[in-house]
A and B are shown apart, each in its own frame.
Chain A
Amino acid sequence: MSIATTVHGEHPAEHYPGGLLRWLTTTNHKDIGTMYLLFSLVMFFVGGLMILLVRAELFQPGLQLMKPEFFNQLIGVHALVMIFAALMPAATGFANWMIPLMIGAPDMALPRLNNWGFWLLPPAATLLTLPFVLALFGVGDGAIATGWTFYAPLSVQGGLGVDFAILAVHILGISSIMGSINIIVTIFNMRAPGMTMMKLPLFAWGWLITAFLLIATLPVLAGAVTMLLTDRHFGTHFFDAAGGGDPILFQHLFWFFGHPEVYILLLPVWGLMPHVLATFSRKPTYGYTAQVYGFIAIGLLSVIVWAHHFFTVGMPVPALIYFMFSTMAISVPLAVLFFCWIATMWKGSMTFETPMLFAVGFIVLFGIAGLTGLVLADVAADAQYHHSYFVVAHFHYALFAGGIMGVMTGVYYWLPKWTGHMYSERLGKLHFWLTVVSFNLTFIPQFFLGLAGMPRRIPDYALQFAEFNAISTVGAFILGISQLLFAWNIWSCVRGGPKAEARAWEGAEGLEWELSSPPPHHSWETQPVVK
């Protein structure tokens, strides 16, 4: 792809409100992207603090610090915060910042919808966490204690926190649907001349599939939790066996959303990886078309495999076999992606700046998530692993090593573009090594705990599990504290540092690197032409 480049200066008539009003009323994709990313960072620390309390409780057997009810609340809200308020907004922040720059659009197609989509998030996050505060004043019995899955009948019988979480999930869902609509219509209608769909940057492709998955599955989640709400307060019995309902129906509805949600969190990262790997290998991306079809195949497969999350519930054998093989089939397009990532690096002039370190770390650790996922997809083996710490370790390799480390890759890669400054490479590398070592220290023991039979979501455990739990807790605290380096590095980079050039990385290719760093407030007012 060659680009007829343009030189961009500041817009002569650039004016916008200052102070708080700018952020409340902004329709600029970069401002909104920044708000999403900041919100995500804050909620990452909120969710992280919750799980550090959980890990502190699990440091030793017996109940040390909290009652089991509070322990359950922390686990459930940690997951909801990390998924809906940290990872998803981070990916949406990336999309807002980068998709218009990458496709040569002056802004997102629907800028006011964009503003609205963001400002729904803070109230929703408040609703999720408010029951903790209310309980301190004697109102209600705390936050949702069902885990992030809201399983009935526990959620039907739960306290005030369930209602708050149901409302929060509705609002978060509306926000995500607004964001998805905006991304789809922006990619379809705002591309620069010459940018055909098969020249679209892979990050935009990853997000396009993500947006369609959100559109297809969020209404089902919203429907399920609305039905839960009516079961709780309006006398319906959708999920109440005593009234002719079926609690298993809730699991089907939830996981019809919940499994694609995994790919919703990961597809933007998979889209970003080829850019980083190509940049620091100084080679073109290997297998562009294969990766596009890989994204599409994974998107399609992700909506037909949901029941592997509850193999043990008692399904007919043909259903078990169908869900086992369809789940395993996902490994085929995923292996294509892994192959393309590795082939992109093959014989490249590789250098290992922080984004590349995170990208390579992502490939290795996310590979472990994939392999342990295959183990869990085996219906016979799953009977042993189900609801154990093996599952917890597996999905943290997917969502921390795959999701959060992927987000960190993107932050380090694009931070010079966003801020106009280079971050501290020394601090970035220290952050990477501390993160990788402490992450493995936290979660490798959890594989063994799970294999030995330790169930998840239990605040106490048998003595035989004590050593692995102690190691895991030490790892978790190092992991949590080392993220302060990440925040500090971002803060320092925003405030100053060596000036970043338009093409901040020597090997970077794409429209976004033609603009100055940071880009002008109104980017691409002059249409780029992609040849």
Chain B
Amino acid sequence: MAGFFGLTDPYIWGAYVGCILCVVFSIVYYVKVRNSEEDEEDE
């Protein structure tokens, strides 16, 4: 089974991946909010 930085149990590395996805989502969300704010200012 493929490892994730030495972790082989998907129930463990899945937690790390889940955390990273949450952080990525928050970055995308922030960019979206900022863009919508800039669009409002342009209008």
A and B: bona fide binding partners: no
